[in-house]
Structures are given as structure tokens and as C-alpha cells.
Amino acid sequence: MRFVLALAILAAVTVPALADSYTHQGLVEPVLHLSGPHQTPTVALTFDACMGRTDPRILGELVEKKIPATIFVTARWLKYNRASFDVLRAHPDLFEIEDHGENHIPAVDRPISIYGIKAAGSTEAIGREVEGGAKAITAAGAPQPKWYRDATAVYSPSAITEIKALGYRVAGFSVNGDGGSLLGASASARRIGSAKDGDIVIAHINQPTHAAGEGVVKGIETLRAKGYRFVRLADVPEDDAGAVKAGG
């Protein structure tokens, strides 16, 4: 079955709209969705490994239950999580490793902070962040990444153009599964467990002490009990570039 990325409308009940202050500054939050309907309900799980450590609850669930997922890693996370990275590499049938940047910096090409994180600030800095993350991934032995997701998942439109010019597709999502790993277990479980056919879920795999991780696992189990099928972004054909929509 072909999986085609198509433009999706952001649903307020599952994904918070981009904060008004950022929307008013011309920033965008790309939204991507697997087209459907599929014969078997299908969801793409994507996880950000920003920095810090690895959540063994989530990684263990994915490995034990043989659940495919796309993992976005930074160079900072790779530096301290080589054992977890080796687990990902040992299961190429399950895990697709993609680029989350070198230092976890928002891809906005002007001086600004997004959710308290200082943005790249220039086109040149965005290029260094994207390519620095990719180089760390290939240096560690994984294939050249094809997708990029920045810190905060918020971009300036010109940054998206630059990232695509570098040869990467921008990885949006349609369900914010754990609110940046800041939600409680119940809320995370409810959001992920409520995913619909064609959704792309974002969550975090680098916060082992947060309650959200427990909820992520419960949400995945809910989808499994419903008979959902899981895919990676690698399962999307190369000629389907996808589309982005301004948040808000």
C-alpha cells in the first residue's frame, strides 16, 4: 500500500494551535498527515530525542512489540546515548533515524526565542544546525537522513525553503502526543490513543523521568488493541514531498 503525505488541517482537540504570538510573527508549524483511508487504520509514530537520556519505557515498548517508528536525534543526544543509538541501529526493520539538528535550535532565521529556546537567527546558522545534525548521524554509522525536524517544530517560511534546498523534507505532524513531554500520563495516553487513521504523532523519547512517557506507552497499547498499523516516514515514497500549513 502506498502512503502519501498530504496537507492536513490542524485539529484543535488533538494538537494545540501555534501560540498566537508566534503566528503573528509570521512563523509556521508544519502539519503533515498520511492520506487515507487505509484498509487497516494506519499511524506514523515519530519521536524526538532532543538531549538528555533515553526513556527505556518507550524504547522497550517499541522493540518488544516490534513497532516501527521514526526517531529524530540531535548530535547532543547522540553524544550521551550511544548504547540506545546502537539499539536503534540493531533494528533497521523498525527504526528510521532522522535529523533533529546539531544543538536543538529552532529554524528561524532572525533573532527570536521560541518557547524559551534561542533560534538560529540566520540562514547560515540554520544550515550549520541541519548539516551538523546529519553529519553526527552518519558519523555514528546510520544512513544519511532525509527528514528534518527542528527544535519546537516552529519555523520561519524562509527557513523551510532553505531546509528543502539542502535536500531534506520537513517533518510536520498531526497529533502532539505528549505536549513536549510536559503532559501527564493520562493526557498523553488519551492523545495518542485517540489518533485517527492517517495521523502522524509526535512525542519524546528523551525524558525518562517524566510521567508523559508512561502515557505514551499506554497510548500506543490502546492503538494496538484497536488493530492499528504503524509505519515510518521512510514508508512514504520519495516523490511525495508533502505540504506545510501555517499553525494557528
User: Mind listing the pLDDT tens digit for each residue in 115-152?
Assistant: 899 999 999 999 999 999 999 999 999 999 999 999 99
In a domain, 245, yes or no: no
Phi (first) and psi of residue 8, to 5 degrees: -120, 150
The 10 Å CB-count burial string (b at 16+, else e) for 169-192 is bbbbbbbbbbbbbebebebbbbbb
**Average pLDDT of the residues in 66-84:** 98
Number of domains in the chain: 1
Q: What is the pTM of this model?
A: 0.88
> Domain range for residue 13?
5-235
| 128: in domain | yes
Q: Does the residue 247 lie in any domain?
A: no
Answer whether residue 242 is part of any domain: no
Whether 162 is in a domain gets the answer yes
Residue 244 included in any domain: no
